């Protein structure tokens, strides 16, 4: 692989060649973060799914490894999760060398073609050598299909209180919870969600875990549910629910409310049709979190697929398709809008920091040409801007541009109290009618001060506003890299209280 193609991300994970979609089986083990992923090695479009594989010591730099799971007589290998079976409940390893166990969906394309409904089942494979080689369990599938077409993407975690494994499974328009003592025999516990949340499409790739409410010792359960289509800006998106889980049922928390503006006139707990989204940009899908992160670390670590099924197969990359988001730390915040999950890039991103440039505090009346002022000429950087708006000001935008007048705007619209990304002029977009557009996200934080963190790579921008309370992720494919950076006030003045731009090194050399 060359990794210097026009649109190749420099600090986001991409497969060396071929197609990638969902991240799968993320698990920490013996000093390594594993990342498996939906992979078609023989083509740059979706096809027979394998699990590709990579490892990292810091969640930032990745080493590509050989394909972990190949299709077999039961089907191709769809999305799923991995755990470390420390107590050897499955007897697939030993207590001294516990098995890394992958639980995934078999997709039987012949069954689908034959018009059957039961072509998705759950299977198990295990590794005794840090994920380097894999054995399929001899009695697969471990969970048969009850006659429902969409029955997939098992996320398994250990429920300590009940000393059992819980499988969170996406079943068409709801989540089904199963439990097991040994990862091999599964019993149905309950269903959740057919009458709650976003339902514009099929539910996929769920996750279930706890987070403390920031600043307290109180824990809540978070249920992530990816959905396609039906996202707030179209196509694929990641919604979540905050509540309680008792080993059997998931119930919503009273303080998990619908959006104050826009989606609901009477804010109460989220009802059917009212989704709350982890990321309001168009390009963060199928994300779930790492298993087995050491308790001494304590973080809940997330990664998503940086694309959207509306155009994932058509984007104009070269010999590969798709990247992941940066790895993110999730926290639970008590906000005026109710309990909300916030995301921030992992702190290890510092490992690729090059030079940091400081901007002087100033009042910006016309556009401030940041890249010119700082003599910057890089398409890969992080910028942190502390901005202040006086009343009556329309908002602001950060512009990324090239010499061909192609550009993308990441901004805040005061009238609508919303952030936005405008990629109507970001370069070629004729590959899909759903690509160019202006996409919006509600502001959750309040007050006249704005913290704007942007991660800019060759083909993507990630906005973490107000300490990650509002997040937007979007991709772009300009004919020339975006290296120009400007801050543009909208109707009035914007105070820049502080600002930095940090150049980021490539993870590939
Ligand atoms: C989500 C998804 C999953 C499925 C996989 C197939 O993007 O559709 O539901 O397991 O992709 O590649």
CA–CA separation, 149 and 160 (whole Å): 32
Q: Cα(443) to centroid of ligand 1, in Å?
A: 30
Residues of the chain where predicted confidence (pLDDT) is lower than 50: 263-264
Question: Domains in the chain, ordered, with CATH?
Answer: 20-345 (2.115.10.20), 349-504 (2.60.120.560)
Residue 94 burial class via C-beta count within 10 angstroms: exposed 0-12, middle 13-18, buried 19 and up: exposed
Measure 6 CA to ligand 1 centroid, in angstroms: 28
Looking at the CA of residue 80, tell me the nearest atom of ligand 1.
Answer: 10
Q: Verify cis geometry, omega within 30 degrees of 0, for the bond prior to 141.
A: yes
* The residue count for the chain: 509
Instruction: Give per-residue pLDDT as tens, 346-359.
Output: 999 999 999 999 99
Q: Quickly tell me which residue has 């919503």 as its tokens.
A: 252
Phi/psi class of residue 430: alpha, beta or left (left: φ > 0; alpha: ψ in -120 to 50)? alpha
How far apart CA 309 and CA 284 sit, in angstroms, is: 11
Q: Are 455 and 461 in contact (CB under 8 A)?
A: yes
- Name, in order, each residue with C-beta under 8 angstroms of 400's C-beta and a sequence gap of 6 or more: 407, 408, 410, 456, 461, 482, 484, 485
Mutate to test the pocket of ligand 1, among 104, 151, 286, 310 (most ligand atoms within 8 A of CB): 286
What is the 200 CA–ligand 1 centroid distance (Å)? 16
User: Ligand 1: which atom is nearest the Cα of residue 204?
Assistant: 9
Which of 69, 71, 112, 153, when mutated, tests ligand 1's pocket best, judged by the most ligand atoms within 8 Å of its CB?
153
* Residues in CB range of 50: below 8 A, 6 or more apart: 38, 39, 40, 41, 67, 68, 69, 70, 71, 76, 77
CA of 506 from ligand 1 middle (Å) equals 29
pLDDT tens-digit readout, 228-258: 999 999 999 999 999 999 999 999 999 998 8
Looking up tokens 């990862």, which residue turns up? 183
Query: What would the pLDDT profile of 458-496 be if each residue is shown by its tens digit?
Result: 999 999 999 999 999 999 999 999 999 999 999 999 999
Q: Which atom of ligand 1 is nearest to the CA of 78?
A: 10
- SS3 readout for 229-271: CCCCCCCCEEEEEEEEECCCCEEECCCCECCCCCCCCCCCECC
- Atom index in ligand 1 nearest the CA of residue 79 equals 10
**SS3 at position 401:** strand
The ligand 1 atom at the shortest distance from the C-alpha of residue 205 is 9
Is the separation of the CB atoms in 186 and 167 below 8 Å? Answer: yes
Catalytic residue among 4, 22, 118, 422: 22
Give the pLDDT confidence score for residue 475 in this predicted structure. 98
Place of tokens 């990321």: 279
State the pLDDT at residue 261.
Answer: 54
Question: CA 427, 433, 439: angle at the middle one, nearest 5?
Answer: 75
Determine the Cα–Cα distance for residues 501 and 384; give it in Å rounded to an integer: 7
Lining ligand 1 with CB less than 6 A are 21-22, 38, 49, 78-79, 105, 152-153, 204-205, 286
What are the tokens at 402?
């090239």
Measured in degrees and rounded to the nearest 5, phi and psi for residue 55 equal -130, 155
Centroid of ligand 1 to alpha carbon of 427 (angstroms): 28
Count of Cβ atoms closer than 10 Å to residue 367 Cβ: 12
Which of 372, 300, 332 has its CA nearest to residue 469? 332
**Ligand 1, residues 25, 47, 79: which to mutate, most atoms within 8 A of Cβ?**
79
Residue 72 a catalytic site member: no
The confidence score (pLDDT) of residue 264 equals 46
Residue 174 is encoded by which pair of tokens?
């709801």
For residue 236, which atom of ligand 1 is closest to its CA? 7
**Cα–Cα distance measured from residue 26 to residue 19, given in angstroms and rounded to the nearest whole number:** 19
Q: Output the CA 255–ligand 1 centroid distance in Å.
A: 31
How many whole angstroms from 204 Cα to the centroid of ligand 1? 7
Q: In a mutational test of the pocket of ligand 1, which residue from 24, 38, 39 has the highest number of ligand atoms less than 8 Å from its CB?
A: 38
Closest to 246 measured CA to CA, from 264, 279, 223, 221: 221
- Which pLDDT belongs to residue 268? 78
113 secondary structure, DSSP code: H
Q: What is the pLDDT of residue 336?
A: 87
Query: Which DSSP category does 348 fall into?
Result: G
Angle at 341 between CA 338 and CA 344, to 5 degrees: 140
Give the CA count within 13 Å in the CB-facing half-sphere of 357.
16
Which residue is closest in CA terms to ligand 1's atom 6?
78
3-state secondary structure string, 36-104?
EEEEECCCCCCCCCEEEEEEECCCCCCEEEEEEECCECCEEEEEEEEEECCCCCCCCCCCCCCCEEEEE
């Amino acid at each position: 692989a060359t990794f210097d193609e026009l649109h190749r991300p420099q600090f986001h994970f991409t497969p060396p060649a071929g197609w990638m979609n969902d991240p799968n089986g993320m698990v920490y083990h013996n000093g390594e973060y594993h990342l498996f992923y939906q992979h078609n090695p023989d083509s740059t479009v979706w096809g027979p799914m394998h699990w590709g594989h990579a490892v990292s010591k810091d969640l930032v730099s990745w080493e590509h490894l050989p394909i972990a799971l190949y299709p077999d007589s039961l089907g191709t290998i769809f999305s799923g999760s991995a755990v470390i079976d420390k107590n050897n409940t499955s007897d697939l390893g030993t207590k001294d060398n516990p098995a890394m166990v992958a639980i995934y969906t078999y997709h039987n394309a012949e069954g689908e073609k034959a018009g059957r409904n039961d072509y998705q089942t759950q299977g198990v494979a295990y590794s005794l050598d840090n994920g380097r080689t894999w054995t399929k369990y001899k009695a697969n599938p471990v969970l048969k299909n009850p006659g429902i077409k969409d029955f997939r993407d098992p996320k398994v975690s250990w429920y300590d209180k009940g000393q059992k494994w819980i499988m969170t499974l996406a079943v068409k328009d709801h989540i089904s919870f199963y439990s097991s003592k040994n990862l091999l025999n599964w019993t149905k516990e309950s269903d959740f969600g057919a009458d709650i949340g976003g339902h514009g499409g099929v539910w996929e790739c769920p996750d279930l875990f706890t987070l403390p409410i920031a600043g307290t010792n109180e824990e809540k359960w978070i249920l992530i549910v990816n959905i396609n289509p039906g996202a707030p800006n179209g196509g694929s998106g990641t919604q979540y629910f905050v509540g309680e889980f008792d080993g059997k049922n998931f119930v919503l928390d009273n303080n998990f409310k619908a959006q104050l503006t826009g989606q609901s006139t009477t804010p109460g707990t989220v009802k059917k049709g009212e989704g709350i989204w982890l990321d309001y940009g168009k390009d963060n899908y199928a994300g779930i979190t790492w298993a087995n992160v050491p308790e001494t670390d304590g973080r809940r670590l997330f990664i998503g697929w940086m694309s959207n099924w509306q155009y994932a197969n058509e984007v104009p990359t070269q010999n590969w398709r798709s990247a992941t988001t940066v790895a993110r730390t999730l926290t639970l915040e008590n906000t005026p809008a109710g309990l909300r999950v916030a995301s921030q890039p992992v702190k290890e991103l510092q490992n690729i920091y090059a030079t940091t440039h400081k901007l002087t505090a100033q009042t910006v009346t016309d556009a401030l040409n940041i890249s010119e002022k700082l003599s910057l000429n890089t398409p890969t950087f992080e910028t942190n801007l502390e901005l202040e708006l006086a009343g009556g000001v329309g908002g602001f935008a950060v512009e990324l541009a090239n010499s061909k007048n192609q550009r993308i705007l990441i901004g805040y619209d005061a009238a609508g109290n919303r952030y936005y990304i405008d990629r109507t002029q970001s370069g070629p977009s004729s590959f899909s009618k759903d690509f160019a557009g202006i996409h919006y996200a509600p502001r959750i934080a309040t007050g006249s001060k704005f913290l704007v963190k942007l991660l800019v790579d060759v083909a993507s921008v990630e906005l973490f506003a107000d300490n990650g309370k509002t997040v937007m992720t979007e991709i772009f494919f300009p004919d020339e890299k975006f290296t120009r950076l400007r801050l543009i006030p909208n109707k009035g003045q914007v105070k820049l209280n502080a600002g930095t731009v940090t150049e980021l090194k490539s993870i590939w050399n």
